[in-house]
Every structure is written in structure tokens, then in C-alpha cells.
Amino acid sequence: MSYPNHLLSNDQLLEVFNLTHTATAVHVGETAVIQAANDAMLRIWGKNRSVIGKSLEDALPELKGQPFIGMFRKVWLEGLVISGKDTAADLMIDGKLQTFYFDFEYRAIKNDAGKTICILHTAIDVSERVLRQEAVERALEKEEALQREQTLNEELAATVEELATTNEELVATNEELQETQETLHVLNNELELRVVERFNQLSESEKRFRTMAEGTDIFIAVGDESGNAIYFNKPWTELTGRSMKDLLAFAWIDLVHPEDRDGYLNIYLSALAEQKPFTGEFRILTKKGDYRWLLANGPPRFHADGSFAGYISSCVDITERKLMEIERQNLNKLVEASSEFIGLAGLDMSIQYLNPVALRKLGWSSFTKRTILDCVFPEDRSIAEELLPGILQKNNFRKEIRFWNEKTGNPFWIEWNGFAIKNEETDDVIAIATVSSDITERKLYEKELQDINAEMTAANEELAQTHDDLIQYTNKLADSEVKLRQAIETGRMGTWSIDPKTLEVTMSAFVKELLGLPLDEPATMDSIIKAVNPDYHDMLKSALENALKDHSPSDSEYPINHLITGEEKWVRATGRVFVDQHGNATEYSGLFIDITEQKLDELRKNDFIGMVSHELKTPLTAINGFVQVLQRKAKKDEDNYAVIALDKAHSQIRKMTTMINGFLNVSRLESGKLLIEKTNFKLDDLLKETIEETYISQSSHQIILNETCSVEINADRDKIGNVISNLISNGLKYSDNGTRIEVSCKLHDTEVEIKIKDEGIGIKPDDIDKLFERYYRVKGNHTISGFGIGLYLSAEIIERHNGRIWAESEEGKGSTFHFTLPLS
């Protein structure tokens, strides 16, 4: 069976709603104002659609004094579901108050917040079933009365026999009792006639019951006190295609749908155990091979002495109603699952319904107290205000317009299809509906095409002019290529290229000479690797893999040894991947630069810095000693001015010492002489010592250590202490007096993370990624002393411990520096 690939419109939904055989209405408010009612419900009420919009009491005055108005109010206020079976109701039909019987349900429908928004009212007129059941019950009562009379007659017959025996004995002993015997004989004859008459009446009653049961289209079955079936009427045999004998052998239970069998059987057996009425729905297999839905109702029956006699159950075919319910549920599911923007609004533009996709696109949690204009992007609302009034004149519209997501503030394009929902009887517009598709992607594509067309137009206009320039450029290209090669060779550079598929290497003569490779033979990857210092093999292999896999550029420096002379030189290799129109790598190529002189200059510079820093430490140590002696003397002489001046001098000496130590460490680091000497120590002890040393020299801030760092690590204790001290000092330097510096740790599976958080001025996003570069200083803060080597040294120390270091910050709210150390 195939299904249409679009949902039913609201008009079609209302048509289905009106055509359903199940009487259905929707009410709102405590007074049960009638919002909607299908034709089946109007027929039950005996009213036309003029009752729509009235309260239930105004529409049906005869319900005053009956319990239904109070039930509606209770369902609305408490959000309940109230239902009933075989419930009597007095209704005014054609000017006459008549009693009908209904199976009904009042169900509160709630929104996402749990508030009742309407009451769904369904009803089934079961008056005929109830009256038939009452007729059956009356027939059973007559049958039971006849059974009681039969029992009485049997007792009387036994009495007559006893009297006859006594009479014979009396005749033998006293002839005077002859008259009495004759009288008893007459009485006996009369009693026998009465028994025959009652038996005939009982047979006639059973015959009438069977005649009635066989003549109805209701499925009637009779069961005894043990639960075994003793009778099925003709509709049962016609529906199932089974004989009475097969059905009486309990084969009927095998005809129940497997999904319904256990549930219905439990209902029946539970009622049988308590001798109570039962009601249930189930599907039964027909002789055609399909299933029909039956609604079973079974009141118990009793003997004349009040003992349980079994059940007389009646079933009605509710297949059409069930199929309509299932179809409606499926339709609702399709609407809920639709990717279209589906909504319904009243004539005042207030939204009555939005499907989940619409709510998600709008960023709404609910459509309560929302209007159609709330959906429209503010810049497009004037368009909507022009379109919407036309709906009231039955002018449907289709317009491309922007709605928007309130959470993100971003608009999205939809093809807005607006159409009117009409009252079938009056043809008046009663609501506004929309089923619209998201066309954002298409609109963006159209905008992109427009931009491309504009660019193409401009390009075409320039093409003629460019043609002459291109000819001139082509003529100069050969000369430029020659000059480029000359410039490369003059700058002690060469070119190289690798085929991504074959890994075949092509090099200029300069590169081959630098490596010591034969000029007249092709270069191989193995021969190139042999010339590179072994410590850098993994780095080059990783750079090649990343370039071929992710097309990432490379720029690396490493030492090489001439394959013939063994002379060591430093080179810089830069490269990038070139791709075709499909994104496939076609070439990995770049420059090979001799930077030996540059490296030697750096080494000489580092040696000079190291030498100067080392030489400065000797006089600085002497100055520090003299200042300390003067500090003690000034304190002894109580010379406050001298004490303050010498404290400031001591502070500056300490800063200069830290700066010189930093330069020495940079020099050692870049010359490969910065050694890492690892030992086992407790991290919390190191943190406490560092904080205490900081308090001795700095008392203007509050430094807090969170007790979470009780772990032993293997690292260079002094250098890790320098990292912690440097990060705390930075926090003090860039934070106002009286603020807090928080130090904490967090244990992970294989590492410990240390965090140092301040409440300082913060760092701009542009500076975050450059903080750990050598000699880098944050822009705008050059009034604070420093050469930008502290964080650089800290990063290098942490990297040599196989850890990580990074920073997080927000301007004006402080910074947090993190670094990790492995636990093993």
C-alpha cells in the first residue's frame, strides 16, 4: 500500500473529524465552552452548529441537575480523565425529553507545562445495546423464576409421592380416609399438570432467548459457572467460520489476536474469579483471514438461589472506530514528525498549535501567548502585516519570508504558505493555517550565485583588458623564471619537490651539493635521511605524513652532515602541498635554505649573554651583601628613611637577579646545556615552600592553596619550583593589591594538572597564543618590567618534562595558567 508523501491539510483533517462515527467534541474553560463538535456529536445532542461557542449548560439546558456539568469542571480544574460505561443521560430531542445511554470519556489535554488547555469529549450511543441487554436480563430473570418454580414443583411432587404412600397405609388401616385419598389424588393430578405447564414455559423462554440471540447482529455467548462456553449465537459462527461445536471446545480463544489474547484472557478470568462484570476489547480472526475489533461486555448471571451461574456476554464490532482512531493517531504522528513548519492560528493571530520542528526552529519552549508576528524576523514584519489581512478575505498566499530563532537571533528563510480554514456550513474563515518548508539553504545558494554572477560580469568586463596584459606577462615569464632561479641560488637557497603518490624526490643542484649527493643521479629519500642528524628523523617523518594527510605546511630547522666531508651545517626547510580542483595532492614542494651562519650568530649571541649574565652575578651578589649589612645597621639606628630606601634597593637587586638567572637559563637552554635532574618529591610540599617564599618578599596579595595536591611526582624539583614561582609572580605583578591568587591541583589518570588563577587585568585573545614565545611581551603593558623570558623558560621546562602548559583569560576578570606533569 502506498502513501502520499505529504500531510493532510487542516481542511482535510476537519473533514475526517466530521465524518468519524465516534461523537467527538472539544471544550475549553470551567463552563465547558464548545470549541468544536463533529456531526456525530451534534446528532446525539439534537443540535446544529449554532451551539459552537456556547457553554455546555447554555447549549443543552436539560443537563442542569445532571452530573455532567460538574464532571467537566472537575476535569478542567484537576486535569483528570473521567469516563463511564452505559451511563444514562436525559436529552431534549425534537422537543421531547428522552433517556439515552452512552459510553463516554472527558479527557484533559495539557500543554508542556502541565496546564489544561482543552477537554476532549468522546461519546458512543449504546442505548440499543443497553436496552437489548436489559431485555436479555429480563428473559434470564424469567428463566430463573421458572427454574425456581420447577424446583418447587419437584419438591411438591416428592411430597405428593409421600402423601400417596401414607394414603395407601391409611386405606389399609382406616377406610374412613378414602375421601381424603381421593382429594389428594386430585391434588396430585393438578400438581403434575402445573409441572408440565411450567416446563413448557421454561422451554418456551429458552426458545425465545435463542430466537432473540440468533436474530440480532450482536455477538452473544453464554458461559457456565466454571468459565466454559455453553452457547454461541449465529453471528459468532458467521464471523469466524467455525461451527458451534468448535467454538464450544474453547477454540474461540485461539482466534483472538496473539497481541490481545493474554490481556483479554486475564480480564475474563479475573472477573470470573470474583464473579463480577467485565469489559474488554480484542481482535478476532474471521473466516476471511483478517481481524475484526470487538468490544465485549459480560454481566454475571445467577441461579434462583443466588448462586453464580456464569456469564452472558455480548460483543459489538468496533473495527471502523478503531481503524479511525489508529489513522488519526498515525496522522498526528506524521504531523509531529514532519520536517515542515506547521502551525495553526486564530483570527486574532494568536497561535493555537505548532509542531515540534516549528518550535525548534523558532527557539521556543511553548507557543502560549504567542502570535504569528512573533515568528517573523523583525525586518520582514511589514510584509507579514500586508499579507495576513487577506486571509480573512479567503485570499491564500505563498511568500518567501524570514522567520527567526529567538535564542540565537539568527533568521531563517521559509516558503510561507498561508491558507484559511473555513466553516463548512457558513463558509466563514475560522482559523489560519500554514505548512511551510525551510528554504534557507536554497536562498543562500541563490545569494552565492548572484555574487558569482556579479563577479563573472566584472571578470568578463576586465577580460579584454587582461588579454593584452596576459600576452605581455607570458613574454616576461621566461625571463622572470631565470631571474628567480638566480635569486634563489644567490640567497643560498635551493628547491625540492616530492611526488605524493610515488614519493619520488626532485632537488636543485644547490640542495644536492649541500647534502653531498651526486649531481647526475636522482636523489632518494634514504640518502637524504642519512644526511640528517638522527635526532630529527622522527620530526621530518611526522612533517611529511601531516603534509600528505592533512595538506598542512611545514617549516623546520635541523642540522645535517655532508655525506662526503662530514661537515655539519644547519638548514631550514619550508614546504607546502599543492592540490588539484578535486582537493587531491599533486605536489609537495618548497625551499631548502642554508642557515649555518645564522645559527652560529645565535650561538655566539647566547654565549655572550651567558658570559655577561654570569659576570654580572658576581658584583650583584656583592652589592646585595652590602645592602643587607646597611639594612641591619639602619634598623639598629632606627633610621626609617634609610630602611625604606634600602628595602627598595634590595627589591630591585632581587628583580635584577631573577632577570639575569632568566638570561642564563635561556642561554643554557638554546645551547643545550639546561639539564633536567629528576627526583621523587611531594608536589604539595613544593607548592607550600614556594608560596611561603613569596609571602616573605610579597605581602600585598592573598595566596590560597587548595589542599588537593597530595601526590608524589618524578621531576626536577628546582625547575618546577621556578615555574610555579614565575606563574605566581606574574599573577602578583598584573593584579591589584589585596586580590587573591588561587593555587590548586587536579588528578587525572596519567597526569596531575596545576592551576594558578589571579584576579588581574587579564590578557587579550590576540596575545594568548604568543605568551610562551621568547622575548614576547603583552601589548599595552610595557610599563611593567620584564623581558618576556619567564613564560618562555617555563614552557620549555614543562615541555622537557613531557607536560603541557597553557593559559585562559578574560580581559578585566583575571587569568588562569595551567600546566601538567606526568605521574609516572
Strands 702-705 and 740-747: parallel
What does the alpha-carbon distance between residue 23 and residue 250 come to, in Å, rounded to a whole number? 36
Say if residues 125 and 284 touch (Cβ distance below 8 Å): no
Q: Are residues 88 and 193 in the same domain?
A: no
Domains in the chain, number: 6
Residue of 646 and 654 predicted with greater confidence: 646
Report, as an integer, the average pLDDT of 639-644: 80
Strands (E), 94-238: 96-110, 116-125, 219-223, 229-232
What is the domain-level CATH number for residue 793? 3.30.565.10
Q: Are residues 115 and 258 in the same domain?
A: no
What does the alpha-carbon distance between residue 403 and residue 210 come to, in Å, rounded to a whole number? 69
Confirm whether 635 is domain-assigned.
no
Confirm whether 744 is domain-assigned.
yes
Whether the predicted pLDDT of 481 surpasses 50? no
Lowest mean pLDDT among 37-51, 356-370, 692-706: 692-706
pLDDT at 485: 52
Strands (E), 584-693: 585-594, 679-682
Q: Are residues 703 and 822 in the same domain?
A: yes
pLDDT at 460: 57
**Dihedrals φ, ψ of 399, to 5°?**
-145, 135
Confirm whether 770 is domain-assigned.
yes
Q: Are residues 119 and 145 in the same domain?
A: no
Q: Are residues 506 and 547 in the same domain?
A: yes
Lowest mean pLDDT among 73-82, 458-467, 690-699, 740-749: 458-467
Confirm whether 401 is domain-assigned.
yes
Q: Are residues 679 and 814 in the same domain?
A: yes
* CB-CB neighbours of 280 under 10 Å: 19
Residue 1 — very low, low, confident or very high, per pLDDT cuts 50/70/90? very low
Confirm whether 71 is domain-assigned.
yes
Residue from 48, 52, 22 nearest 34 by CA: 52
pLDDT at 598: 77
Whether the predicted pLDDT of 763 surpasses 90? no
Whether the predicted pLDDT of 205 surpasses 90? no
Lowest mean pLDDT among 342-356, 478-492, 735-749: 478-492
Checking 786-793 for CB contacts under 8 A at 24+ apart, the result is 786/659, 786/733, 787/659, 787/662, 787/663, 789/662, 789/663, 789/665, 789/666, 790/662, 790/726, 790/729, 790/730, 791/726, 791/730, 792/666, 793/662, 793/665, 793/666, 793/669, 793/722, 793/726
pLDDT at 477: 44
Residue 231 — very low, low, confident or very high, per pLDDT cuts 50/70/90? confident
Confirm whether 662 is domain-assigned.
no
Q: Are residues 197 and 233 in the same domain?
A: no
Confirm whether 456 is domain-assigned.
no
Residue 566 has, within 13 A of its CA and on its CB side, a CA count of: 0
Residue of 742 and 452 predicted with greater confidence: 742
In Å, how far from its chain's centre is CA 210?
61
* CB-CB neighbours of 158 under 10 Å: 10
Residue of 660 and 322 predicted with greater confidence: 322
Q: How high does pLDDT run on average in the chain?
A: 80
What is the domain-level CATH number for residue 518? 3.30.450.20
Whether the predicted pLDDT of 615 surpasses 80? no
Whether the predicted pLDDT of 79 surpasses 70? yes
Q: Cell numbers 516558503 label which residue? A: 415
Domain residues for 549?
491-594
Whether the predicted pLDDT of 619 surpasses 80? no
Over the stretch 281-318, which tens digit does the pLDDT of each residue have? 999 999 888 999 999 999 998 887 788 989 988 898 98
| C-alpha cell, 699 | 605581602
pLDDT at 446: 79
Q: Are residues 708 and 814 in the same domain?
A: yes
Lowest mean pLDDT among 667-681, 702-716, 759-773: 667-681
pTM: 0.30
Lowest mean pLDDT among 93-97, 199-203, 617-621, 630-634: 199-203
| C-alpha cell, 590 | 618548497
Q: Is 105 exposed, middle or buried (0-12, 13-18, 19+ CB in 10 A)?
A: middle
Q: Are residues 716 and 800 in the same domain?
A: yes
Residue of 599 and 194 predicted with greater confidence: 599
| C-alpha cell, 719 | 625547575
pLDDT at 293: 93
Q: Are residues 71 and 163 in the same domain?
A: no
Lowest mean pLDDT among 139-148, 183-192, 499-508: 183-192
Q: Are residues 579 and 434 in the same domain?
A: no
Whether the predicted pLDDT of 5 surpasses 60? no
Q: Are residues 200 and 243 in the same domain?
A: no
Whether the predicted pLDDT of 174 surpasses 70? no
pLDDT at 58: 92
Residue of 184 and 331 predicted with greater confidence: 331
Confirm whether 342 is domain-assigned.
yes
Residue from 507, 505, 509 nearest 524 by CA: 505
